[in-house]
A and B are shown apart, each in its own frame.
Chain A
């Protein structure tokens, strides 16, 4: 398998705070990678840097063999990277359908159209003309994922899709994610819920204080290992 995404010694800062330190990893085509770690470990910042919302201070991001480190966010979307941001960030005064259609700006060919998205998320079907601000959390999350899919991404970045949602709604969201994963979409997701992350991902990378301290295939890692890395109990186990 060739690497779809290569990240090489990436540094990202928020002013003086260095949120991501020397992070390197690869994601192969069709693979699902889960980034886990405590609050403030740098997961969201890393995802935003991959999507182009945050300029890295150092290092390289290579997508499909092309260096995209300096590429602005909207061009990365055209190249095939889409982010579902933390907190969903829908356009509140646009309807569900308009939120989806805005993302058609990228003009990428692929299977995802408004009708396809509504078919994949049937709960949105009756809501297509409703303002996004009037939706429930789960409906908003479905719209946000649908909006990202509308760009027909090769790489989908998901930031905390279960945050603030009722368990039954999270179940629904992950059910649709499984459909995407089986369809061959490459996914990097940030998830607080370890069990869920390990349930859906091929590989898990654990971040601590801006670094990846543990990384491995789902079968290779035990829950204990990940929990230890999560809280920084055994740094000796850190791997590249």
Chain B
């Protein structure tokens, strides 16, 4: 029965990882940018929500109302001012740019908010849980997180499938030159993709802040889990990211069940195993999934 509990908790944890990883997968799928600052941008979302709840005394959920549109703007400006230039200089440069951004953000957060840990109030739903049996209880907050992850991924899927922006995103991801030749402003499409990715990151960051305490350096850690979820899920595919997140979550829960200290380790081991298996068996397939984004 406890194994069932691990499995269930792993699935819910995976939902959170998927939420964290969705923006990362989107940016990689559309622009081949591995955004190392993704976790840090999520953290900025958490800190902004913290500011709003502290000073305006509003609930964390209400704080999302200004944080998410703000994140859209930040993403758009980030793409237009920094990432666009980096992309023009080659594939490696955005990696360096976002790595620099990660460090700058961590230091700025430390400057403004001190290195102390902060946390966000999850409201009445926070401590409540559903007691399925004596061995298994499911926190409502985890259910909410998984639900949000599903909605975000489903929403993204719909946007990509049925809207004009979605068609433009997929066309630009496949062949930016040709997209330009049929009238798509590839740079504007990229900026919109980054805007959406940063908004999802901020959403994930706020949820992160409600589930655990955070400090200015938490971004890199969270990035690692998100990155692992993306890679396990098949790199750049949206639903794969959900599967990847859940596989990662379950591995960590099972690892922790064996020994508390194996929580992170078990996830890393599964991540490495998937990476090795994939590069050994089907290197061409990875490239194929890249093109078949979403």
- Name A residues whose Cβ lies closer than 8 Å to a Cβ of B: 51-53, 72-75, 77-78, 82-83, 85, 89, 91-94, 98-99, 101-106, 147-148, 150-151
Task: Report B-chain residues with C-beta under 8 Å of the C-beta of A52.
Answer: 180-181
Contact B181 A105 (CB under 8 A): no
Task: Report A-chain residues with C-beta under 8 Å of the C-beta of B171.
Answer: 91, 94, 99, 102
Told that A73-B181, A91-B175 touch, could you supply 14 new A-B pairs with CB distance under 8 A? Answer: A53-B177, A74-B180, A74-B184, A74-B185, A89-B178, A91-B170, A91-B179, A93-B174, A93-B291, A94-B170, A102-B164, A103-B182, A103-B183, A151-B182
Bitwise, B184-222 to A at CB < 8 A (1) or not (0) is 111000000000000000000000000000000000000
* Docked complex Cα distance between A74 and B190 (Å): 14
- How many A-B pairs with Cβ below 8 Å? 77
Contact B292 A105 (CB under 8 A): no
Give the shortest distance, in Å, between A112 (CB) and chain B (any CB): 12
Given A53-B177, A94-B170, also A105-B182 (CB < 8 A): yes
Contact A73 B174 (CB under 8 A): no
Give the shortest distance, in Å, between A113 (CB) and chain B (any CB): 14
Task: Report A-chain residues with C-beta under 8 Å of the C-beta of B184.
Answer: 74, 102, 105
Task: Report B-chain residues with C-beta under 8 Å of the C-beta of A77.
Answer: 180-183
Give the nearest-CB partner of B167 in chain A. A102
B6 within 8 A of A: no
Contact A102 B182 (CB under 8 A): yes
B142 within 8 A of A: no
Partner of B167, one of A82, A89, A98, A148: A98
B253 within 8 A of A: no
Give the shortest distance, in Å, between B30 (CB) and chain A (any CB): 13
Task: Report A-chain residues with C-beta under 8 Å of the C-beta of B179.
Answer: 91, 102
Give the shortest distance, in Å, between A177 (CB) and chain B (any CB): 19
Contact A74 B183 (CB under 8 A): yes
Partner of B181, one of A53, A78, A99: A53
B228 within 8 A of A: no
Task: Report B-chain residues with C-beta under 8 Å of the C-beta of A147.
Answer: 182
Contact B183 A91 (CB under 8 A): no
Task: Report B-chain residues with C-beta under 8 Å of the C-beta of A89.
Answer: 175, 177-178, 181
Partner of A72, one of B167, B170, B174, B180: B180
Task: Report B-chain residues with C-beta under 8 Å of the C-beta of A83.
Answer: 181
Give the shortest distance, in Å, between B61 (CB) and chain A (any CB): 36
The 5 A-B pairs with the shortest beta carbon distances in the complex, nearest first, are: A106-B183, A77-B183, A73-B180, A103-B182, A89-B178
Main secondary structure of the interface of B (DSSP, over half): helix
Contact A91 B177 (CB under 8 A): no
Contact A94 B175 (CB under 8 A): no
Task: Report B-chain residues with C-beta under 8 Å of the C-beta of A75.
Answer: 185
* Docked complex Cα distance between A219 and B19 (Å): 67
Give the shortest distance, in Å, between A49 (CB) and chain B (any CB): 12
* Docked complex Cα distance between A45 and B167 (Å): 28
A-B contact pairs, 21 of them (CB 8 A): A52-B180, A73-B180, A77-B180, A78-B183, A82-B182, A83-B181, A85-B178, A89-B175, A89-B181, A91-B170, A91-B179, A92-B291, A94-B170, A102-B164, A102-B167, A102-B179, A102-B182, A103-B182, A105-B168, A106-B183, A151-B182
Task: Report B-chain residues with C-beta under 8 Å of the C-beta of A85.
Answer: 178, 181
Given A89-B175, A93-B292, A105-B164, also A53-B170 (CB < 8 A): no
Given A101-B167, A104-B164, A105-B164, also A92-B174 (CB < 8 A): yes
* Docked complex Cα distance between A89 and B172 (Å): 12
Contact B180 A91 (CB under 8 A): no
Give the shortest distance, in Å, between B289 (CB) and chain A (any CB): 11
Partner of B182, one of A72, A92, A148: A148
Give the nearest-CB partner of B180 in chain A. A73
Give the shortest distance, in Å, between A158 (CB) and chain B (any CB): 13
Give the shortest distance, in Å, between B88 (CB) and chain A (any CB): 13
Give the shortest distance, in Å, between A97 (CB) and chain B (any CB): 10
* Docked complex Cα distance between A89 and B174 (Å): 10
Partner of B168, one of A92, A102, A150: A102
Give the shortest distance, in Å, between A14 (CB) and chain B (any CB): 14
The CB with the most chain B CB atoms within 10 A, among A51, A75, A105, is that of A105
Give the shortest distance, in Å, between A122 (CB) and chain B (any CB): 22
* Docked complex Cα distance between A105 and B188 (Å): 12
Task: Report A-chain residues with C-beta under 8 Å of the C-beta of B174.
Answer: 91-94
Give the nearest-CB partner of B170 in chain A. A94
Give the nearest-CB partner of A54 in chain B. B177
Give the shortest distance, in Å, between A55 (CB) and chain B (any CB): 12
